[in-house]
Amino acid sequence: MPTEPRPGEVWFADLGLVEKSRPVLVLAYPQPADARALVVVAPLTSQIRGLRGEVVLGKPPWLPKPSAVNVQGLASFDPGKLTRRLGVLLPVQFGAVKDSLRDLLGL
């Protein structure tokens, strides 16, 4: 039985033919009072460059390669594009993503 995605979880997003389907980190999942019913995500990448906006995860057991969260690639889309849960970040990793977002956005 599928569960509602939660912040900190990594899901596979089927973005169709136009965009590359990929693992994404769920940052926010729509709630009934939200203005739009959109999930907010940051993509994962295996092209690690060591630049600002990347949070290196290493190689989680549920991913095929060492990866990083790219917080500069924020996106929002219909939650139905999330097809399967891959795993969940460790609290320290999700904390690093939040810190990177605050730094990037000047919060």
Tens-digit pLDDT profile for residues 51-78: 999 999 999 999 999 999 999 999 999 9
Q: What is the pTM of this model?
A: 0.90
Taking only the tens place, the pLDDT of each residue in 2-50 is 578 999 999 999 877 666 788 999 999 887 777 788 999 999 999 999 8
Domain 9-105 in this protein, CATH class? mainly beta
Rg of the chain on CA atoms, in Å: 13
For the chain, the average pLDDT equals: 90
Question: Which residues 6+ apart lie within 8 Å of 68 measured at CB?
Answer: 44, 45, 46, 48, 54, 55, 56, 57
